[in-house]
Amino acid sequence: MTAQLESTVISSVVAGKPVDGHSVVRSTNPARLSEVVGEVAFGDADTFVAAAEAAKTAQRDWAKIPAPIRGRAIAHIGRLVEDNKEALARLVTAEIGKPYAEALGEVQEIVDTCDFFLGEGRRLYGQTVPSEMPDKQLFTHRVPVGAVAVITAGNFPVAVPSWYIVPALLAGNTIVWKPADYSPVVSAAFHEIFVRGGGLPDGVFNLVFSDGEQTFAGLQRSLEQGLIDKIGFTGSSAVGREVGALAGRHLQNACLELGGKNPLVITPNADLDLAVEGALFSGFGTAGQRCTSLGTVIVHESVHDEFLARLTKAVAAAKIGDPADDVLMGPMLDQKFADRYEEYLDWIQPHHTVAGPTGRITADNARDGFLGDATAGLFYHPVVVDGVQADDQLFLEETFGPIIGVITYTDLDQAIELANKPGYGLSSAIYTTDPQEAFRFRNGVGAGMVSINNSTSGAEAHLPFGGNGKSGNGSRQSGVWVLDQFTRWQSVNWDYSGRLQKAQMDTVELTPDRDFRLGS
């Protein structure tokens, strides 16, 4: 029997109006697959192009609204999110299986982002710059980029979209948002809160449900027609490469937030219990499906055995089960992630050691102390793979799921080399009580984010977030830094001399005495 929480079919919203879809898809609860969270009508490439047209048309008037007033809209959105915090978090938990405490944290991240940008509406500073000539003044202004396509993943179905949408709107841009196809209900709720809370005019924030192929086709056509001026994309490195290439062909640089193979180094003097706690949270929170999730623990050989013993014990004791309960780990986000994760499990080799069970939690492959009915959902055992080597696939590639590797090192330079070897560069962590080691690691690691005595996850909403290498193209989200993604600098030179003053040619020179020498 299926229980249905929502009876209406949700759909794309273009220029403020719902749009008929082509196929209706069910969104189910990954913790109880028989429970339908909602139904969504998928659009196609035409839906995307229509949304881009609406965004492009609405942008001119949205940009005319003074930035402080747009900042007020962001303030109201933040309050409305706060007032709906529990309801939105419950939807996150129901639709993608994120444990409720984490889901509340995720919703809080939207509020934090709004808190930051509501003030930016009264700043959005430019500069006054001196001219090399008299009676002339130079200025810089931030101007909006235009219509922005935002394409996001469903592991952070509301926090990560807000990192793009809040600053983009604040800076005077309009939006076409294509959320993950497996989190439509929570996406529709987010969209409605934003439109209502901000009093956003029609066309300012458009929502498109479509599959990856149709989205790409729609994006391509929109770019060809000059309807999209900027792309923000969060997802896999493979798709990010395609999106970046498409943007590049249209002389645009996309804001890309891609995969990670995030290392966590443990030095001989580290507080091992703290390191275990950090590894547990970043390895298995969101069932290992964050872009900041821990990939490999790089532990000094002298503390390897002790660390592994404590970690194995902690993993065995961790609470796993119904994400509505107080658990460390719930189910996989969606069937397709479960299927892909099973392939990663094949990367475990005979030279590896795994302490506990692996694979799907079932009646025959049970987990002690499981909270709820494991067979009803997409639940997997948390896996720690010891004896990983630097040329293992498991060491080199992202494994989106509850699996972490353990490798040893002998000196810090080697640990840094191992941390950088997979070629991603999103997040990283070091557990040490020696400041020299912390600084040497920070200096040597190629990641965009470094944690010292904290896990690889847990970025705050006003610090630059983003990666290098296979994790992105160097773009940064959050805080003032993201404004460079959603605005362009316009320089103004204002001449009030009443004559043509030619730069570099009509400048006056003083007469320096270059021959003067002391004592001569």
List residues with catalytic annotation: 291
Supply 136's token pair: 């002339």
Please say which residue, 423 or 458, places its beta carbon nearer to ligand UN1.
458
**Spatial distance between the Cα atoms of 504 and 495, rounded to a whole number of angstroms:** 15
* Beta carbon of residue 96, minimum distance to ligand UN1 (angstroms, whole number): 12
The region of 326-334, 388-396, 454-462, 511-519 touching ligand UN1 under the rule CB under 6 A is: 454-462
* Beta carbon of residue 287, minimum distance to ligand UN1 (angstroms, whole number): 12
- Nearest residue to 148 via CA among 487, 495, 478: 487
234 binds ligand UN1 (CB under 6 A): yes
Q: How far is CA 128 from CA 45, 120, 138, 492, 503, in A?
A: 44, 18, 6, 9, 18
* Beta carbon of residue 46, minimum distance to ligand UN1 (angstroms, whole number): 29
* Beta carbon of residue 455, minimum distance to ligand UN1 (angstroms, whole number): 8
**Spatial distance between the Cα atoms of 330 and 28, rounded to a whole number of angstroms:** 15
Count of other CB atoms within 10 angstroms of residue 467? 28
Q: How far is CA 423 from CA 82, 303, 420, in A?
A: 38, 26, 6
The region of 37-45, 326-334, 457-465, 484-492 touching ligand UN1 under the rule CB under 6 A is: 457-465
Near ligand UN1 in 479-518, by CB under 6 A: none
The region of 61-69, 91-99, 287-295, 351-359 touching ligand UN1 under the rule CB under 6 A is: 287-295
Residues in contact with ligand UN1, shown as a per-residue x/- string from 4 to 23 under the rule CB under 6 A: --------------------
Q: In what order do the strands lie in the sheet with 403-409?
A: 353-354, 383-386, 403-409, 294-300, 262-266, 429-431, 451-452
Residue ranges of alpha helices (H) inside 199-236 are 212-224
291 binds ligand UN1 (CB under 6 A): yes
* Beta carbon of residue 367, minimum distance to ligand UN1 (angstroms, whole number): 25
292 binds ligand UN1 (CB under 6 A): yes
CA dihedral for 229, 234, 239, 240, sign (positive or negative): positive
Please say which residue, 54 or 449, places its beta carbon nearer to ligand UN1.
449
Near ligand UN1 in 44-83, by CB under 6 A: none
160 binds ligand UN1 (CB under 6 A): yes
The region of 190-198, 248-256, 290-298, 299-307 touching ligand UN1 under the rule CB under 6 A is: 290-298
Phi, psi torsion values for 74, nearest 5 degrees: -65, -40
Half-sphere exposure of 365 (CA within 13 A, CB side): 12
Which of 59, 457, 475, 477 forms a contact with ligand UN1 (CB under 6 A)? Answer: 457
Please say which residue, 160 or 299, places its beta carbon nearer to ligand UN1.
160
Supply 407's token pair: 């490798």
- Nearest residue to 289 via CA among 317, 255, 312, 259: 259
The site that binds ligand UN1 (CB under 6 A) totals a number of residues, namely 10
459 binds ligand UN1 (CB under 6 A): yes
Please say which residue, 148 or 459, places its beta carbon nearer to ligand UN1.
459
* Beta carbon of residue 448, minimum distance to ligand UN1 (angstroms, whole number): 12
364: CB partners within 8 A, 6+ apart: none
347 binds ligand UN1 (CB under 6 A): no
290 binds ligand UN1 (CB under 6 A): yes
Please say which residue, 121 or 240, places its beta carbon nearer to ligand UN1.
240
* Beta carbon of residue 156, minimum distance to ligand UN1 (angstroms, whole number): 5
**Spatial distance between the Cα atoms of 122 and 93, rounded to a whole number of angstroms:** 35
> What kind and span of H or E run contains 104?
helix 100-120
Q: What's the one-letter identity of residue 266?
A: I
- Nearest residue to 162 via CA among 126, 182, 186, 143: 186
Near ligand UN1 in 129-158, by CB under 6 A: 155-156
* Beta carbon of residue 456, minimum distance to ligand UN1 (angstroms, whole number): 8
The region of 331-339, 437-445, 453-461, 501-509 touching ligand UN1 under the rule CB under 6 A is: 453-461
> Do 103 and 189 meet the contact criterion of CB atoms below 8 Å apart?
no
> What kind and span of H or E run contains 150?
strand 147-151
> Do 185 and 37 meet the contact criterion of CB atoms below 8 Å apart?
yes
Contact positions vs ligand UN1 (CB under 6 A): 155-156, 160, 234, 290-292, 457-459
